[in-house]
Amino acid sequence: MAQLEQVTELGPVGTALKERILSRQALVAVIGAGYVGLPLAVEKAKVGFHVVCVEQNPVRANMVNTAQNYIRDVKDEDLTELVGAGLIKATTSFDVLADADVIVICVPTPLTDNKDPDISYIVNVTRQIAAHIRPGQLVSLESTTYPGTTQEVVLPMLAASGLKVGEDFFVSFSPERVDPGNARYTTKNTNKVVGGVTPACLDVACTMYRKTILNVIPVSSPAVAEMTKVFENTYRAVNIALVNELAMLCDRMDLDVWEVLDAAATKPFGIQIFYPGPGVGGHCIPLDPFYLAWKAREYDFSTRFIELAGEINLRMPYFVKDKVVRALGEAGKPLFGSKILVLGVAYKRDIVDERESPALKVIQLLEKEGAHVVYHDPYIPEVHPHGWFKQHMTSVDLTEELWSTVDAVVITTDHKTVDYTEVARKASIIVDTRNAMKGVPQGNAKVIKL
């Protein structure tokens, strides 16, 4: 794949831009200072680039400018040093784009209520870029999206300026591969796939990414890079769906799914173990399969396997709710009127992110049937209404008074900071969707596994 770049002949504009990148004189604008954008900005600034974050949330923009870190994967001391040195700043204005040499788009790409792709953030940002575009700029999209977005949506909006792609300006797609909370693989040491609209675009984009990322993987087009991203997460979604369905089958057969998986994991070849849970959450896995399935319909192709996996994963919160109903019923209690403590609303262990968290769906389903639900999460002090989740909730402390009023506990996120031995001592019924109680003395608690 490296040969893709060997035939590139850059014109004078591309050559000048490439030289600015190589000498670190290029001004980098990162649009969106979230879990993808801020770590990227920090890595660029650490090697000497001046970086401006265009962040529409004024609170976040101010936090960047005052070196108040809000992304766990960014080190506090790095942000403090870089802001103090004038290498990173933030603004809510798009006017800075006129001065930027490199523009990287890192905005959300959610789903609509009907599970269709919502690329409105990309469209709105591209419109702003088009209003400021000039010769000698690289625009790289990192937001996860369906194959074709860069060339079918972004490129025409930029090309309407009359400038020629590959000669006057350069466009690429390079999917983010951020895994929040992963201490081993970071922005710097995670392989970076890059696809350019033209060979010149690919050359310039790879030059830019190689300044901060150890291994850059060039591919033949933005669409290949876009497909790579949605495939990676669809792969995970499908395998999670398989093991979630296995969990539901084991429940019917009165088998311990965790024992089955532990046994299967002893095979040294031919299997990669995934684990069940209350559903899937986060910014990618719940969304990307639907992006791919939506795009496939444009080609009269039905991705039945992928869509089925999505349906199974969406069913898991309902399965968890039913487990709670059964557990309470065996104790002679109805769900209606019971107080349920949900442990963890982050979508995975030890992170500050509840987007698309299945725990929120579990809460909604339990409350819909008359339960009074509270939650405890040391990483998520508050949950604000967003999308289909209409409530404002605040994390509660695990006090003696709370334990005395709780009828059942549902473990939806297995944070390491929670004392599960104490949970076993204080709770009478525990529905454990993450196998967090494995090896914990159960005392008088009745533990119901997924």
* Residues designated catalytic: 284
> Across the strands, what pairs with 217?
193
Instruction: Decide: helix, strand or coil at residue 406.
Output: coil
Backbone angles phi, psi at 250, to 5 degrees: -60, -35
Query: What is the radius of gyration, based on Cα positions, of the chain?
Result: 24
Residue whose C-alpha is closest to residue 325's, from 407, 224, 236 = 407
The count of residues in the chain is 450
Residue whose C-alpha is closest to residue 420's, from 437, 401, 400 = 437
> Across the strands, what pairs with 342?
375, 410
Could you tell me the maximum CA-CA distance found in the chain, to the nearest angstrom? 79
Handedness of CA 116, 392, 354, 344 (dihedral sign): negative
- Token representation of residue 53: 């974050």
DSSP codes joined into one string, 194-262: EEESSHHHHHHHHHHHHTT-S-EEEES-HHHHHHHHHHHHHHHHHHHHHHHHHHHHHHHHT--HHHHHH
Q: Are 411 and 436 in contact (CB under 8 A)?
A: yes
CB neighbour list of residue 128: distance below 8 Å, 6 or more residues apart:
94, 97
DSSP codes joined into one string, 349-379: TT-S--TT-HHHHHHHHHHHTT-EEEEE-TT
